[in-house]
Structure 1
Amino acid sequence: MLLAIDIGNTNIVIGVMKGLDLITSFRLTTQTPRTSDEYGIMMVEMLREKKIHINDITAVIMSSVVPDIMYSVNNSIKKYLHHKPLIVGPGVKTGLAVKTDNPREVGADRIVNCVAAYEMYGGPCMAIDFGTSTTYDIVNAKGEFIGGLITPGIRICADALWQRAAQLPHMEIKSTKGILDCKNTVTSMQSGLIYGYIGQVEYIVNKTKEAMGCDNLKVIATGGLAKVIQDGTDVIQKYDGLLTLKGLALIYEKNR
């Protein structure tokens, strides 16, 4: 079985994969001060809790957008799981031609998402990842990564509201009954956040279709809050919560 690790700014998502099938998964918070021993022990214990023995893990692949913790995580895998992880980055085969000014600066998670979106759903396509930031990444019909947009994530927008406005409370991010369901401060914030974000998504997707001259752009969403946004719009054709883990599994197969 393959251990696929996606290190994001907020969470580290770890999945045990058999082909493109997820056997089990768990999350760690992304914290810079942890040592390799702490990461290693937590991973081993969580695998044991999921009834996975470390000897069942045959390989490890990971992508990361947090360089500061890579040394500790890399060493924890070598020390506790006894594998040298394949790290998605320059020199790793992905099957995508990256057509940007500086391909090396494109986040590994964005490439991983695009690999999964293109290979599983075809091109042209857009992978939208609703994470700490929201990324809109575009692959053309020839399988070329031609760029994308990065915006503040939904949680960042919500946090900005209650941190910067003295009378606005911290709130749960969730959809409301309708755009006119604004009968108190909390539902006003929730409606404004969700419908405002839906408007952003629809505008970016439609402008991308216009710029590319194609109406058949496949839009695939992933990330923790993707389903909330998808439920409010028809521009997202597919929600795939395992898009990043599937992309890691596909890249691993290309580099065996």
Structure 2
Amino acid sequence: MLLAIDAGNTNIVFALVAIDGEMRTIRARWRIATDPRRTADEYAVWLSQLLALEGYERGDVEGVIIATVVPRALHNLEVLATKYFRTTPLIAGRAPVEWGMTLDIDEPGSLGADRAVNTIAAHALHPGDLIVIDFGTAATFDVSDYTGAYKGGIIAPGINLSLDALVTAAAKLPRIAIEAPATTSVVGRNTVDQMHIGIYWGYVAMIEGLVARLKAQVGRPVKVIATGGLATMFETHTAVFDHIEPDLTIQGLAMLWQRAHID
């Protein structure tokens, strides 16, 4: 069993993945708030309890792979793997699990690990020209061509960041839940409704507008793949997504781990 770890700016996702040939099955997944100060011992206590609840134990984990965009969190995750799972973890983007794709951008070293992993997984699952949208702390739009080469993309504020900025800067505005408005009307009759409309439909308009511009620039048929926890919330109110892959990053990490062991 593989323990795949995706350390993002807001949360760290741990996923237990069973691999059988080309089949990658996620047996369990857990999420914890990202805190670089959290020690390997703390992770181990938490994970051991969750593994037991799912009927597993630490000995069932045969390998660990980590992708992180939070460098300060990496050391304790590596210690977790070596001390408690008795294995040397693979770090996505480092030998022997380099990306294995062309990075056709000005600063290849600045590409976030999650974005690279998403591109690898998306291309394996959906060949062709792609736009991969990941709804995380930031909303990222990543473009790859039919050869799998990474061509660049867009970074925009995540919807929660947008709401936080709005509420923080405007003293009289209340904090609201991130959800679709009750109707499709874009004329709000009260403050809360107007905020829901501005946040939700404004975000949908941003997604559709940026995708339209990206497609026009690519100039060929493009499939749009969405991932991240909020992807399904937008799915029913826009036709811009061709596929939703909620576990794209974890799938990509499992693919990288397989590649390292096959090679």
- The bucket for the TM-score relative to the shorter chain is over 0.9
Secondary structure (helix, strand or coil) at the match of 1:255 reads helix
1:193 aligns with 2:195: no
| TM-score with structure 1 setting the length | 0.96
**Cα distance in 2, alignment partners of residues 49 and 82 from structure 1:** 21
Secondary structure (helix, strand or coil) at the match of 2:206 reads helix
Q: Work out the number of aligned pairs and report it.
A: 255
2:233 corresponds to which of 228, 235, 252 = 228
**Cα distance in 1, alignment partners of residues 184 and 89 from structure 2:** 47
**Cα distance in 1, alignment partners of residues 144 and 186 from structure 2:** 37
Task: For structure 2, list consecutive stretches of 5 or more residues without a partner in the other structure.
Answer: none
1:42 aligns with 2:46: yes
**Cα distance in 1, alignment partners of residues 54 and 7 from structure 2:** 20
1:17 aligns with 2:23: no
Instruction: Give matches, 1:106-145, under 5 Å.
Output: 106-145=111-150
Instruction: Give matches, 1:75-94, under 5 Å.
Output: 75-91=79-95, 92-94=97-99
**Cα distance in 1, alignment partners of residues 193 and 229 from structure 2:** 20
**Cα distance in 2, alignment partners of residues 8 and 110 from structure 1:** 11
Aligned to 1:254: 259
User: Displacement, 1:32?
Assistant: 2.0
User: Displacement, 1:181?
Assistant: 6.1
User: Displacement, 1:184?
Assistant: 2.1
Q: Is the 8 A contact 1:158 1:193 kept in 2?
A: yes
Q: Is the 8 A contact 1:40 1:76 kept in 2?
A: yes
| TM-score with structure 2 setting the length | 0.93
**Cα distance in 2, alignment partners of residues 198 and 140 from structure 1:** 25
RMSD of aligned residue pairs (Cα, Å):
1.2
Tell me which amino acid in the other structure corresponds to 2:186.
L
Tell me which amino acid in the other structure corresponds to 2:196.
Q
Tell me which amino acid in the other structure corresponds to 2:18.
K
Task: For structure 1, list consecutive stretches of 5 or more residues without a partner in the other structure.
Answer: none
Q: Is the 8 A contact 2:44 2:84 kept in 1?
A: yes
Aligned to 1:104: 109
* 4+ residue runs over 6 A deviation: none
Secondary structure (helix, strand or coil) at the match of 1:60 reads strand
Aligned to 2:74: 70
Q: Is the 8 A contact 1:90 1:104 kept in 2?
A: no
Report Cα offsets for 1:145-192 as digits up to 9, x if no partner: 011110100000011111110110011000012133623212211111
